[in-house]
Amino acid sequence: MQTHLRFGMQRDKPLIHQEKGKIDGIVVPAHILAHQTPSTSVFISSLPEKPYLIDPMTFVFQNPTEAHVNEAGALRQSIGKLCRAYHPNLAECLQGLDAEEALEPDELPDTEELCEGVLKFQREAVAAGSALSGARKYLDRYAVSRATEPRAVVPPYFYFEMIGDGWYELALECARITARLAPEGVKVLPVVHCEVDSLTGSGIARISKDYSPYGQVMMWINNFVQGAVDQGSIAQVRSLVRAFDENEVSIESLYGGYLMMLMSFDGLAAVSHGILYTESKSTTLTPGSGGPAERYYIPKFHEFRSLGQTDLIIHRHPELICDCAVCKRHMGGKPDNIVRYMDNPELLQEHFLTVRRAEADALGASSPQKEADALRRTYAAYHASISDLPNPDAFISKAPMKGLAYLERWASAIV
Ligand SMILES: [Zn+2]
């Protein structure tokens, strides 16, 4: 199982360099590259051995109220720059809308021209950005800097509510056009961005028929919060993964945590996520809003907890103290040492990346039965003890998220 890091904050760059051995690749959101071009381009060029993707972020154009119009009614600066990079009329199309009004697929600029712009940006922005005069000061920081092309180009993609609706058809058309425009040897990786409810039997058959010809596909299941999703939803996503796997199509997940990683048993090739955030994402949340939370990843729980909760949990159960190299050094088996992570949030990131690598590698030698047994053991040992603590993600979900009930649901869903 591969893990790809979703780049989010310029300040994370030194840490990513330091920890690069623990990640398989990088995903760069296009609006960050468009907005902070020299620094982001040089950063990507400084890791020439890491395959990368540029997420074209075209779904943000669909949602004027939450995604791209700021409080003053103007386009957010980064989105404005992205629009100008893609198509001369794109910003105008979005600004013409009432803030309450959702964009219709036919209100976007000419599809072929939009695809051309998005393709050109992904293939050229990193090399062009690294050559800008503003890039000089960043270039001096790194020993190696070589602009490479992304491992694949991602066609414009959009969130669809129903299979066959206008947005579904537009995303599919963008995939077709991009595949035609891409020069030989350049891989095309379309994104299927949908609700889990779309993944019925006939829905999955349609998606896999439409997207299998590309040989590889990325899925983004809207707001698939691993601690909240029910067993039926997990089964539906697994069915999608298996449908592509049976067609020998490589499938990855644009967002994901351990639950998604368990789908490596069904054929999922990779997940991407941020360092302490974006293991799931809703299409309507503003990209880049809010900083990373200061939270500790508890390996046995396969989830983050606030530092306050972690403090409480490891005092009750010192055996839950992580034994990764970072925690061995800084925690030394003593629960009181969690304070060192409060003083130095970078340790939270180092610990998480170390544990994530170990999780991904361990899955390669495991089985659904072994994983389900381990999840159930953890549930049995700790659920009662911690079910009085609120789950930090519960506010974004109506689902019951007390304690470790999710581990039981995962176990039942994978075997
Ligand atoms: Zn650790």
pLDDT for 93-124, tens place per residue?
888 776 677 789 999 999 999 999 999 999 99
Ligand 1 mean position, distance from CA 359 (Å): 12
Contact assessment for residue 333 and residue 288, using Cβ atoms and an 8 Å cutoff: no
Cα(175) to ligand 1 centroid in Å equals 41
Domain with CATH 3.20.20 in the chain: 2-273
Distance from residue 349's CA to the centre of ligand 1 (Å):
9
Contact 330, 337 (CB under 8 A): yes
Instruction: State the Cα–Cα distance between residues 134 and 311, nearest whole angstrom.
Output: 44
CA of 372 from ligand 1 middle (Å) equals 22
Q: Which residue has the tokens 């009181």?
A: 336
Cα–ligand 1 centroid distance for 340 (angstroms): 13
For residue 49, how far is its CA from the centre of ligand 1 (angstroms)? 26
Which CATH fold would you assign to the domain 2-273?
A: TIM Barrel (3.20.20)
Centre of ligand 1 from the C-alpha of residue 342, in Å = 14
Q: State whether residue 88 is helix, strand or coil.
A: coil
How far, in Å, is the centroid of ligand 1 from the Cα of 323?
Answer: 6
Residue segments in the chain with a per-residue pLDDT below the cut of 70: 65-67, 71, 73, 98-99, 285-293, 391-401
Q: How far apart are CA 361 and CA 378, in angstroms?
A: 20
Long-range contacts of 319-325 (CB under 8 A, 24+ apart): 320/382, 322/297, 322/298, 322/351, 322/355, 324/299, 324/351, 324/354, 324/355, 324/358, 325/354
Dihedrals φ, ψ of 280, to 5°? -150, 165
Q: How far is the CA of 376 from the centre of ligand 1 (A)?
A: 22
Distance 328 CA to ligand 1 centre (A): 7
**From ligand 1's centre to the CA of 301, what distance in Å?**
13
Q: How far is the CA of 352 from the centre of ligand 1 (A)?
A: 7
C-alpha–C-alpha distance, residues 303 and 280, integer Å: 12
